[in-house]
Structure 1
């Protein structure tokens, strides 16, 4: 009893030991309605909830269970889905009213088709929720009409359209996993439509057979004569405070007819075991989302059947992650043939004590066993061991995407080796195509199927047609499994690592792999494009080395016309999401002081004479390098100059506006232009140094358009002129300087004038006062008289004294005497 108590603590400690999850990035991503990945859609304004799919044996007709209807779609055409027939199956007005009186929403009361199975070659057996009162009927496949009146569907179809269920038909009998009551409290695994000596069976009502299950899927193994059901339920064998969800696999034998006295009309071959999707030192991914069966390769034993399932975790440490685990049939059989737990009816506690086996639970033929053996089977149905994943490890795990549905296919590559390809649907609306390699999973591509998350019930894979059908709430989507024509080069075809595709060296296209054409370039495991395409394409490194330039000049590329001191941004298309972009210039290094590599792979710099020229965008992926874009950055030609379109000798009476700048011995000629100001054409010395500072780009970036390539002009005597001319501001500088000098002169003049006036007002009265203080009144009067007479006779020699006298005269009173001076 100590183990169940310590188990939650142990699981919590394992959460801290959980290693980092490897990031799985899809190599190529196709958004909605991308021309590179064309999808076929079917939708109609009067059709919704097309979530139950059934494909005919020849793959030409797809039967769809929708809301209040069953559809027959013609999918035999490659580029279209055509509605062939439609069967309306709508509850009456009285049925809808009764559903509403039960407290259900009217949106949940229509008839949602949840069971759609071939009963025989001429009829389909269909069941729907029918306003929370399940009904089932027989439908003729040719006319899509009901052959019989619908009957009750309790135990065959869920009441609630949101409850998951599973159903399949084997030899005309229906095997289902669903709930058998209105409230959803009675889960059952049952058999219906039995005839003759065979009777309908269901699980015993004994406590513990099923604990609040959610049914996921079911599959029939003919060689085993068993049906395996996959579901999740509450694990009562774990004594946790919170409910612990576990994933289960259970089995029943199709030959079971129930016991004679014990377990009458009940399963005698029912047994269940836990599916454990867990890596070492990690918490388990315990919630099963979907599961699919992969049959063994031709000639392999039946025990090699694999079941691939998507699991999530109820633990917060693994929240948002999805894991894929695979389980082998031989491991499931081994667990069911082992020991079983014992349930104490008094304490409702499970124990794993060893006891004598009276019978082997899950073994076919127990319906003829004794009552003692059947009582042992009734009380011992939970296997002691868990079914562990193949290799006791996860097939793949994703922390970026939450997967909800999957389907799996085995594909033979060009070398004859088989690879497993998974098609995984994310909750965000993308379909991931992944191939399982020795080093792990590789996501070849992701395809956006729908924009908004919506309910998806099933994926249907048609291997002969090479398509996948996805049933959503809005319609049906048809997705081809291969997209070889998208890869335009041998390198891209090989780097994709798609087992469906290979490069044909004869036709030089990426084609579907077939048994007739095995001479294809393909490398699924390593993706070595250089080796696989050695006879098809050249490696970029052999053409453009870091310090080596071929004798011939670079390809012209795309012409980019810019102005000096303008911010330029060159885009570099990515070959894939796994590639890395690299920029190069022939015979030149890209200094970090002049160039800025942005996160999207583009290159940004300021246009200067030193940054004009050719630029090559390279893409590196898995050791293979290829050229993605070539740019020729050139200075714009001034509109005031006329550029001749083509000539060999320059004119003698005009300076050409397009000049050639070349490095000696490089063989590379880059055409650039010069700017003219005020009708003049100027050049700068070749040894002029220009300082460039790289700045952070904003949202408004320089844009350009493609222009015709201009021919290079040859200058007289072979002298090369620089293409860049800095703008001239000499006249503006002279004008500003003159205005500054005039302003300063005016300010100095005004300042001197003010100072002079203040000095005059201060000094004149003071001098007069001093003179008058030093003389007697008689002397002062005599001096005034003499000064007055001398002013008339003297010339400009005594003007200074005269001014002084004028000032003093102005201070005299009306009687001619100084104020306050006695006569």
Structure 2
């Protein structure tokens, strides 16, 4: 019932490709294939040369230094998909999601998938030829959304998952046992696991133990609501089960609470991810550290993440201490007050007596909790929800070792942090994805110096070091990156070599003057920028931040920036209204750890012409990048704003001007027409007023007017009431020929 297809595809042909894209300040490589989606599992070879990818309905092999790409299609047949759908599952959840991918030996891989809610496993030759399929129940979850963990030790598979379709039977099991060794599992009737969510498992060879990390309901707490606790459990690889009691069951299982809590604060009780930091060369295995990400179920800590570290010495001390016992009648846990018959979790108990095995069967929960190193939190983030974690020990230029954490956020950002005596220092923030995506897996390759991030769209390769990003000694030192130091010979920030040196690096203090004492610290000012504005225009000039730890200050030569005229925004930019008093030069300065550098220079001036819409610039060379907690693009951010550039309104100006001219022309025409009508009305004789005027006229005036009438009649131009042939202009009565009315024309 297993459909298997083998495909060999060249990475630059067909649908498989590697793409190089730029995150701010970073060059990242993304691997994708239209047949390799929903990356769920990543597996790295020990030398880091080969990356195996488990995805939906397929597995892939990528070689780091070549373009060879193998793909194995492993999808359920249509019959199984139909049965999955008939069981009420969504078709999107019915494909085969690879959840277990491990090296079985030097030549074979072992893989398990959900396979349409009917788990299957297969053996794979390293060249991606499939051998016989195998039963997957108890080795892989049914549901692709359920978390699980698996590890292969000496050819045997140790898993933490669920063993039924509904997900109600959690188990920690061993499979693929050979010879006298038998497969083992927990006795699910004893309540050894309480609705767990498995996170990760790790094997410590010197201990001969496998540690499982998970969260579950804490039945030992008598709360109204279910209280989630984080756990660490252990089993011995030498365990073969009891002879009569605990047959084919673990005799070495024990668990304890991981308590990520600061004093007088609520605990971060839900574990999200954990990674193992092995001790340095020559150090005992007891110095092994486990770094985990924890969140809280309490609303007061909602949206916050904490990182805690636990030492193997403290874990072993808890497991060798006292244990609780469950009262089967009251279902209440209490501390065991009688003498211990045996030490639960101790290897070799499979040969013990039935009385000892009954004791360890009832006493598997440690009385004490495992406290973090120093009884304090390693770091806390109030702004980011971390989901995945990788840890590495890095040797700095002065031969000291520093712990570096790589933390992935829900929003698709990678934080690189170095742990110092005074707390964690975020070196940089890398934008892994343009849009937030759920992270499926994370793998750190220390030999190759890269991090692989698996998502629903493919795999992204992120270098752990980014030294070339820092262009000056000050930037290289202020980054406080253990991977990088300033080389005074080549005058570049380079990856730390194995030759010890104290120059060009100061991880603990970040002191630029001491670390760069052999280098000229005269900072090169950025190129000035000319911004042409109109008066009363709102201006916003920006200042790139050197880092989130730096303090930005705006200055004007021989002038003080008053809060009445200027608005200092949270992103460090400066906003103001362009007036004669605010025109001139502006400088943005950055102060960090006692070191000052100029980040931006502006010259704000009034536009010389109203047609000038876009600002001009001084010749500006490529500016230096900024060492930053949040990685900044090498070319720097665009410093012009929409206020300074502005769109062009020339066409609208022409249209408005034409309309204004038309309106003025109509208005003038109407005024002239009204004056003409007024003049005509004043010069026309009125019947009602003629008699009254004649009464006031003297005999001489009447005689003169009579003469005018006679003259007019003589010229054939008789005046009739209501018809006027002359205009009254400037207080003078004129005739139609422009002469005075009492003056004969030349024609007569």
TM-score range, shorter chain: 0.7 to 0.9
Within-5 A mapping of 1:361-380: 361-380=344-363
Within-5 A mapping of 1:344-383: 344-383=327-366
Q: How far off is 1:456 after superposition?
A: 2.6
Structure showing greater radius of gyration is 1
Q: Which residue of 2 aligns with 1:210?
A: 193
Whether 1:36 and 2:18 are equivalent positions in the alignment is no
Q: How far off is 1:586 after superposition?
A: 3.5
Q: d(CA) in 1 for partners of 2:76 and 2:183? A: 28
Secondary structure of the equivalent of 2:75? coil
Whether 1:105 and 2:90 are equivalent positions in the alignment is yes
Change (3 A) 1:418 1:566: same
Q: Which residue of 2 aligns with 1:804?
A: none
Change (3 A) 1:427 1:559: closer
Whether 1:498 and 2:440 are equivalent positions in the alignment is no
Cα contact 2:196–2:215 (8 A) shared by 1: yes
Deviations 1:481-521 (A, max 9, x none): 01111111111111111111111122111111121262531
Q: How far off is 1:604 after superposition?
A: 4.4
Q: Which residue of 2 aligns with 1:145?
A: 129
Change (3 A) 1:511 1:520: farther
Partner residue of 2:373 out of 382, 386, 390: 390
Q: How far off is 1:298 after superposition?
A: 1.4
Considering only aligned residues, what root-mean-square deviation do their CA atoms show, in Å? 3.3
Q: Which residue of 1 aligns with 2:79?
A: 94
Q: How far off is 1:593 after superposition?
A: 5.2
Secondary structure of the equivalent of 2:115? coil
Change (3 A) 1:590 1:122: same
Q: How far off is 1:791 after superposition?
A: 7.7
Deviations 1:757-777 (A, max 9, x none): xxxx9xx9xxxxxxxxxxxxx
Change (3 A) 1:234 1:601: closer
Q: Which residue of 2 aligns with 1:231?
A: 214
Q: Which residue of 2 aligns with 1:51?
A: 40
Deviations 1:65-115 (A, max 9, x none): 1111110011236xxxx4521111111122222222222222111111111
Within-5 A mapping of 1:769-788: none
TM-score (norm 2): 0.77
Q: Which residue of 1 aligns with 2:11?
A: none
Gaps of 5+ in 1: 1-30, 544-553, 641-669, 671-698, 706-745, 747-752, 754-760, 765-786, 796-823
Q: Which residue of 1 aligns with 2:452?
A: 469
Gaps of 5+ in 2: 1-19, 612-617, 619-640, 648-674, 676-681, 683-688, 703-748
Whether 1:585 and 2:574 are equivalent positions in the alignment is no
Deviations 1:717-769 (A, max 9, x none): xxxxxxxxxxxxxxxxxxxxxxxxxxxxx9xxxxxx9xxxxxxx9xx9xxxxx
Whether 1:188 and 2:159 are equivalent positions in the alignment is no
Partner residue of 2:467 out of 466, 484, 488: 484
Q: d(CA) in 1 for partners of 2:167 and 2:528? A: 68
Within-5 A mapping of 1:61-460: 61-76=50-65, 82=67, 84-141=69-126, 143-147=127-131, 149-460=132-443
Cα contact 1:494–1:528 (8 A) shared by 2: yes
Partner residue of 2:542 out of 565, 571, 587: 571
Secondary structure of the equivalent of 1:150? strand
Secondary structure of the equivalent of 1:376? helix
Deviations 1:655-704 (A, max 9, x none): xxxxxxxxxxxxxxx9xxxxxxxxxxxxxxxxxxxxxxxxxxxx962339
Cα contact 2:413–2:431 (8 A) shared by 1: yes
Cα contact 1:32–1:451 (8 A) shared by 2: no
User: How many residue pairs are counted as aligned between the two chains?
Assistant: 622
Q: d(CA) in 1 for partners of 2:195 and 2:343? A: 26
Change (3 A) 1:126 1:588: same
Q: d(CA) in 1 for partners of 2:80 and 2:87? A: 11
Q: How far off is 1:555 after superposition?
A: 9.6
Cα contact 2:24–2:430 (8 A) shared by 1: no
Q: How far off is 1:561 after superposition?
A: 4.5
Cα contact 2:230–2:270 (8 A) shared by 1: yes
Q: d(CA) in 1 for partners of 2:314 and 2:701? A: 142
Q: d(CA) in 1 for partners of 2:579 and 2:135? A: 83
Cα contact 1:539–1:625 (8 A) shared by 2: no
Q: How far off is 1:611 after superposition?
A: 4.9
Q: d(CA) in 1 for partners of 2:114 and 2:135? A: 10
Deviations 1:453-503 (A, max 9, x none): 444332111001000011111101111001111111111111111111111
Q: d(CA) in 2 for partners of 1:791 and 1:385? A: 136
Whether 1:621 and 2:592 are equivalent positions in the alignment is yes
Secondary structure of the equivalent of 1:494? helix
Partner residue of 2:601 out of 612, 630, 636: 630
Q: d(CA) in 2 for partners of 1:792 and 1:69? A: 128
Cα contact 2:341–2:359 (8 A) shared by 1: yes
Q: How far off is 1:792 after superposition?
A: 6.5
Secondary structure of the equivalent of 1:209? coil
Change (3 A) 1:577 1:205: closer
